[in-house]
Amino acid sequence: MDVRLVIKQRLEKLGLEQQDLAAAVQVTESYISQLLTRKKAPPAVNRTDLYERMNAFLRLPKGQLSAMVEAERREELKRKLADPPAPLFKDVRELVVRTCKPEKQSQVREIFETQSFGELERLVSQTLLEVAKGTAKKELENEKWLRRLAQPLNQTYEELRTNILEFLDTDIFNVSPGHCSAILAPLIESWDIDLQTFAMEVALNQNLSSKKNVKFQFVELEAGGNDANDSGFQEFLRNRTMSGDATEEEILFLKSLRFKQNELSALYYYRELQNLRDPLHFRQSSVSSVHKRGAVNEIEKGMQLDSRKRAIQRWARNGNNPRRKSNRRKTSDPSLPSDGR
């Protein structure tokens, strides 16, 4: 069944109007009208909160509208794949070029115009779009942020929220000049790109974003992953005393560490984890979880005791026989027991 028809039927059954639905999901009434009259396509499920709010307001089973929209969008995508994508709007390209660092603008413009909607233009446009989307999605429920962005645009809170929901659903093949002037332009201050490595740096508007810069790099990785240091890393993961409270982000960082000459031990990864959590190692202390020093000392103390036990066991196996004391050479290892004198 068509998703628009389901919404209309539920409104009629509940004795509600489109304006009631618009108020419930915090968008404009015209946006709801355009959705229901097919003037706008339903936005992607993973890019909006509309369907969750609609399900609750219309008293529909959870996930019903989302499932219907996903099926509809799949069919629409099949029809579109046969046609080549249209290039960017001229105004969108102009905004992208205008926000580039001044020393690179002429070179970038020349490449864009020579290779219309080529690899570089797509890469830059997609990167800027994703950066702006990330900030907009993060602040979607922040009414104060939305009103601050809406004020210079002379838009109401509901109008801007509607525009952001549409913006989150767009892509580089369909992004409009209106979306760019209302959302992309206020959020992106400037960007720069290394035309040799294609590394990008995007500067964000500090009044509208908690981040100052976002960097993107293409790096070469050795084939086979982290095989040389795999055993030490796996031992670290298996030891829950060492890695039990490590976050996913911390694990990914530790996994990326490489040292070709020697194999890294589990203890190395544990100590590197503590370095990550020490606020003194960062210019701005944004670490959310720091080990208590006492707990860290206890763990390291236990490791040292284990190491000492193993050393004693090796020493005993290598000739700790009282009858041959006089023939045994003195050890210089302070961790081993003395001759008892």
Task: Give the pLDDT confidence of 229-275 residue by residue, as tens digits.
Answer: 478 888 888 888 888 888 888 888 888 777 666 678 888 888 888 88
pTM of the complete model beyond 0.75: no
User: Counting Cβ atoms within 10 Å, is residue 62 exposed (0-12), middle (13-18) or buried (19+)?
Assistant: exposed
Q: Which CATH superfamily is domain 3-80 in?
A: lambda repressor-like DNA-binding domains (1.10.260.40)
Mean per-residue pLDDT over the chain, rounded: 79
Residues of the chain with CATH 1.10.260.40: 3-80
Q: Give tens-digit pLDDT for 158-168.
A: 888 888 888 88
Contacts of 68 (CB under 8 A, 6+ apart): 1, 2, 3, 6
CB contact at 8 A, 57 and 24? yes
Q: Output the six-digit token pair for 259.
A: 């040292």
Write the single-letter amino acid at 204. Answer: L
Ramachandran class of 223: left when φ > 0, alpha when ψ lies in -120 to 50, beta otherwise: beta
